[in-house]
Amino acid sequence: MGKHAALGTTLTSLVKMAMPLCQQAERENPRTGPGRKPEIPDWAMAVLIMVAVLKRKKSKSSQYRFLKQHAAELKRLLGIVRFPARSTYFDRYRRAHRLFQHAITLQGRKAIQEGTVDARHVAVDKSLIAARGPLWHKSDRKKNRIPEGLRGVDRDSDWGCSKHDGWVQGYSFEVVVSATKGSTVFPLLASADTASAKEMQTFRQKIDQLPASTTHVVADSGYDSNALAEQVEWTAQGRRTGRRFLCPENKRGTKQPKKENIKPRDESHRRRLMRRRYYESPRGQRIYKRRGQTVEPFNEWFKSLFELDKCVWHRGLENNRTQLLAAMFAYQLLVRYNRRRGNKNGQVRWILDML
């Protein structure tokens, strides 16, 4: 290591915890297409990126400088012969989000197996983060025109709106967290996209990956969709999955008939009425309230912990996907490490600050 300090025992422990998960993620999602496999495997690149994100190095240049300073120790820990060149790190960074997304799912399952979390009830939510650089007006965006004085515009960013964040030009992440009473709030599934990404599409891709133990899924009105609800509650063969989808409805039309006078028009409408009754029941309301105590504060904790409350770290969708999902994977590791230290909670800032 020469004049540079060692990584430290805590960071070394986190690296050792991350390695088997990243290796499994690569085995289950191998590279496809022509060409020979890279000398430095994808799982090793993911662990290097995770280390840089844990150290909260916000630019790829500062990340690479830190990693290069600790190259000898990192090579020994990972068992790799060569350390990536700067250009290799920058190029592979943009692709690493695919591995991180699967590794998050794997780590969620592991946390359930370890008893770290109880995933009977889960909550899903999307959160927005502003892009770096100046705002790019929608009319200029349509014309692909950047007016004078708007240097540094992030062309990949887009406009999105949420009840909590309002209108934001930037990016988003969607997360499914454990929301069972008494359980640690823990991310189980996650994805990252532009701010304009539609919840109907992003959550649809996660439903089949929900933990087997999940019985209730809670979401805000942005997820009000018969298609999503039926995918949660019913199989393609028309059998119940044993799960409930709790979501407040968006009003449809201006005239709303009295609830007692509503008669189902078809099977889809009948199922919707059943969901409404369950959502409005005392049990449904009691479970739904867990959303405001779990996923909503989680989004703020997560953004504060990784200094994302003002804006994202990078420009470009692929770069930000990697950083956001690497941070989510790192957060999972921090909670599991905290548990190993005997702390049954999600208070992990102290670990991050001591790295």
Q: Mean pLDDT, to the nearest integer, of 208-226?
A: 96
pLDDT digits (tens, 9 = 90+) for 45-90: 999 999 999 999 999 999 999 999 999 999 999 999 999 999 999 9
At 2, is the pLDDT very low, low, confident or very high (cuts 50, 70, 90)?
A: very low
> Of all helices (H) and strands (E), which one includes residue 303?
helix 295-305
- Tell me the percentage of the chain whose pLDDT exceeds 90: 76
pTM value is 0.93
Res 184 pLDDT > 90 = yes
Neighbours of 187 (CB within 10 A): 24
Most confident of 114-123, 127-136, 149-158, 251-260: 114-123
pLDDT digits (tens, 9 = 90+) for 93-114: 999 999 999 999 999 999 999 9
Q: Residues 21, 22, 23, 25: is their CA dihedral positive or negative? A: positive
CA–CA separation, 339 vs 336, rounded Å? 5
End-to-end Cα separation, the chain, in angstroms: 17
Provide the 8-state DSSP code for 240.
Answer: B
pLDDT given at position 255:
55
pLDDT given at position 207:
97
- Mean pLDDT lowest for which of 145-149, 289-293, 302-306? 145-149
pLDDT given at position 313:
97
Specify the pairing of strand 121-130 against strand 158-162.
unpaired
Res 258 pLDDT > 70 = no
pLDDT given at position 1:
39
Q: Mean pLDDT, to the nearest integer, of 316-342?
A: 96
pLDDT given at position 74:
97
**Which tokens belong to 166?**
């309002």
